[in-house]
Amino acid sequence: MFESVIRNQHGRGTAEEKLWRAVIAKTLEEWVRGPLRYSRIAEEFLFDNDRDFRAVCSSAGVDPSHLRKRLVSIRARGIQKEAVVLRNRGNKKPNPPNEIRNQGMLRQQAFGV
């Protein structure tokens, strides 16, 4: 899926360019679907690390400015955030609202008191 996002010329390029495109595709996949830790690392690379991002895009034969504009657009639409919500599902019970805690409804009492 993510490989189609970065390929302007389907199947074209040197072996090295294809390798770097695969690196970008893997980074995009981790940003959207990876564990939270890897998602944050990928997001930092894609949006904050200008020097390395440009070098990888250049090696892949991809225009870094164009790719980053597309990624900013994707992030603005919230596609990545939706994946984070799905990833954070768990069996944790939500914390009760402050009103309940402040009213003493959750205070523990000794048995029979």
Decide if 97 is inside a domain.
no
Decide if 111 is inside a domain.
no
Q: Residue range 2-24: average pLDDT? A: 76
Q: How far apart are the first and last CA of the chain?
A: 62
Decide if 93 is inside a domain.
no
Q: What pLDDT digit, counting tens, does each position of 16-47 carry? A: 999 999 999 999 999 999 999 999 999 999 99
Report the alpha-carbon distance of residue 62 to residue 55 in Å, rounded: 10
The total of structural domains in the chain comes to: 1
User: In the prediction, which pLDDT does 22 show?
Assistant: 95
The answer to whether 45 touches 53, Cβ cutoff 8 Å, is yes
Decide if 57 is inside a domain.
yes
pTM, two decimals, is 0.61
Assign 3-state DSSP to the chain and report helix, strand, coil percentages, each to 5.
65, 0, 35
- pLDDT reading at 79 higher than 80: no
Decide if 54 is inside a domain.
yes
- pLDDT reading at 105 higher than 60: no
Decide if 104 is inside a domain.
no
Q: What is the DSSP letter of 34?
A: S
Decide if 95 is inside a domain.
no
Instruction: Tell me which residue of 47, 63, 69 sits closest to 7, measured CA to CA.
Output: 63
Name the residue range of residue 72's domain.
Answer: 2-88
